[in-house]
Amino acid sequence: MNNSYNVAISFLKIILWITLVSAVLGIIAIFLFFGTATFNFNFPLFTSANIEIGGNKVTFEELKKTGFFNFAIICFLSILYLWFFIKLSKTALTILNKVNLKSPFSEESANLISKLGNTALTLGILNILISTIIPLLYRGSFSININFENSNFFIIAAILYIVSVIFKKGIELQSENDLTI
């Protein structure tokens, strides 16, 4: 394969590793954040942190005042979102590492692309759910926020679904071609 392809794949792997590590660090930070609030530890790093919720910057103390249940739900939804984001990044890395350009149409590749699409769809649903629930828990106001940012994962999921269907058709054509030779 040519050099520009290898550079692009290496660059994508680096970006995916950075997002994977960032999401894991985000989950660790949320657990520490939750532990700090639950056990009333005084960690200046967390107590002075500004958190953005629904476009509003709030402090740790303001977020704690929403009540333990609301605070726990916000933390749980954030961890759930990051977990699916990790799953998306990990699946994309697996695809990049396992793709065989001499015979790209494999059942494994099609399944991985389909899994990537399902995870992107789940992230899209979580995105809308979180943008609706968190303002409700924090401010007590209900609003459904459907904007371009929230629809990105739906668009990605649709594209990946189409690609997985094309891959499955490619598998059929490749197996027919192998049988005729």
Enumerate the H helices of the chain as residue ranges.
3-38, 44-47, 60-64, 68-98, 107-139, 148-180
Q: Where are the domains of the chain?
A: 3-180
Instruction: Read off the tokens for 147.
Output: 């904007």
- CA dist 89 and 123 (Å) reads 12
| Confidence (pLDDT) at 80 | 92
Q: How many CA atoms lie within 13 A of 162 on its CB side?
A: 5
| Confidence (pLDDT) at 53 | 60
Cα separations in angstroms, 120 against 64, 69, 115, 169, 180:
31, 28, 9, 22, 38
Tens of pLDDT along the chain (181 residues) come to 577 877 888 899 999 999 999 999 989 988 888 887 777 777 666 666 677 665 566 677 777 777 788 788 888 888 999 999 999 999 999 988 887 777 777 788 888 888 998 898 888 888 888 877 777 777 666 666 566 666 777 888 888 888 888 888 888 887 777 777 6
pLDDT one-digit tens code per residue, 53-86: 655 666 777 777 777 887 888 888 889 999 999 9
- CA dist 28 and 138 (Å) reads 22
Please provide the average confidence, as pLDDT, over all residues in the chain.
80
| Confidence (pLDDT) at 93 | 93
pTM over 0.85: no
Closest CA to 151 of 116, 127, 130, 119: 127
| Confidence (pLDDT) at 155 | 85
